[in-house]
Structure 1
């Protein structure tokens, strides 16, 4: 972690000090994806589009965050103004370095979990460390490099966008740049299974999970981003509320709490306008609260 970004371990130590816990506890929390390698991933859905097909149209990015129901109580909107990078906001569980969010340079991030037979617990840079590095990037190219440059310890999908109109989906397995499948464009979507071409020695574990809804959610998201000519934040939130393809997920309480997955929060971002909308809980029932990045940063400074 320290070789990847020298700012991260001091940040972890600072979080621990503020929470009055051991730094090792916060470190373990931030490497949970790697500690739990091979287990079922969360069921998140991410989308990126532009309001219209005009070159000056606003760039929009959104996702549902699906995880264990108890995580809802730990969700925070974290705002940071580091002295050596752009201010940013991230919707995250308390104690984590970062999750989905945007920064003052107009870089946006939506992240979804993936798992494959290449996830063997090998040493590398953790998923959440990469998320943090993306949000402290000064440019779109730097954000992309945050994914490509390191030897990653786990699989994950990084949907990146910039207010200048560029966007890319980086579908990454453990390893270096050769294990990243990149898709560029302004209409992108990703759920929790790999879209990359299959090859020998690689198996997508999500596709073999009978309980997974990833394929249906991917189809619904792809249909929306490709078929709609004019798009708005309300439209994006409408997709995140969808139940027909289980984009908005509800736990039924039939299994142990540690196996239940539901939508605990949703976020939609206008990278061009510097605004974001967040729901605390299911987007189908919770009102989306609007925030301005500039105001959040001003209060955090």
Structure 2
């Protein structure tokens, strides 16, 4: 039977093979369409290709055959009748965009526009240490980036007058983070060496361990991800343990940008596409997430978005673009493969 173009599958007192065969034969075209739909959906929401979805689904075959052999039999019959592979049917029945499958780290780098003429890419591997890829100003030994151990780091400048010259300057500290192999090792490096001034490092590794670490010469405070596994930070301190001992002087737009990013991130699966969309947001322009230079601005208020880096730490891959992401600039793919 068909109602408004939708086929109805009716099967009584039937074996798993009989149910699957009827399902696959009556809905063959719609099964092919479902595979097309989920191929796009997996790519857009989880940056996952269909072949990768099939590979993940294959890991479930043996446990499912032991636990629900009747449903495995039914799915196999659907596949035969619909003339698709069994793993195609299994992948349709197994949504794989759970949070532990992806670990993304990203930031817009806002700074005075003239800095764009003094930037460099760095792909280096010190002896006995991880290979790391960074982007930042020429002459600096460390900036935001990721390494071949699956660890990445971003940074937010904090305006505060607390300084201790016995501890590490910001860019040396971030370099030491990128020489680490895990989040735990990176956090230990930050804590053991200390920071000479205030900064926030957002650090994550491929296992999903992550935090925004508000650093100051008076100590460091990690801000853990929320219940959705997301942590956001802009250019002000907000960990109670840090604000109790350090007075910072942020611009008002730091608070509005943080609130906006938290709103945009709520319930949104991480992917290169979805994160780039958030980084391109211009609500509150010119001092928006995607920032343009305010008219008549002077000094540090001349800041604009100079680059966007989005890192997939599970895959060891990053997308880097120069300029405001809202303008759809060319994207450079960074990997640890070559």
TM-score range (shorter-chain normalised) is 0.7 to 0.9
Structure 1, unaligned runs of 5 or more: 1-49
Contact 1:277 1:288 in 2 (8 A): no
Alignment check: 8 A CA contact 2:310 2:320 kept: yes
Deviation at 1:199, TM superposition (A): 5.7
Q: Distance in 1 between matches of 2:109 and 2:243?
A: 29
Cα distance change, pair 150–77 in 1 and its aligned pair in 2 (3 A)? same
TM-score (norm 2): 0.65
Question: Of 128, 139, 155, which residue of structure 2 is paired with 1:84?
Answer: 128
Q: Deviations over 1:109-131 (max 9, x none)?
A: 111111224x2464421000111
Larger relative contact order (CA 8 Å, sep ≥ 6)? 1
- List alignment gaps of at least 5 residues for structure 2: 1-45, 48-95
- For 1:154-193, list aligned pairs within 5 A: 154-175=197-218, 179-185=219-225, 186-193=229-236
Distance in 1, matches of 2:336 and 2:179, equals 16
Question: How many aligned positions are there?
Answer: 238
Contact 2:223 2:239 in 1 (8 A): no
CA distance in 1, matches of 2:174, 2:267: 30
Aligned residue runs from structure 1 range 92-171, under 5 A: 92-117=136-161, 119-120=162-163, 122-171=165-214
Structure whose CA Rg is larger: 2
Distance change (3 Å), C-alpha of 1:244 and 1:148: same
Q: Map 1:193-208 to 2 at 5 A.
A: 193-197=236-240, 202-206=246-250
Cα offset, 1:225, TM superposition: 2.7
Aligned to 2:279: 240
Instruction: Report which of the two has the higher share of helix.
Output: 2
| Over 4 Å off, 4+ runs | 50-53, 198-201
Deviation larger for 244-253 or 53-62:
53-62
RMSD: 2.1
- The equivalent of 1:22 in structure 2 is none
SS, match of residue 188 in structure 1: coil
Corresponding position: 1:216 with 2:260: no
Q: Bigger shift: 248-257 or 135-144? A: 248-257
Q: 1:77 to 1:199 in 2, by over 3 A?
A: closer
Counterpart residue number, 2:3: none
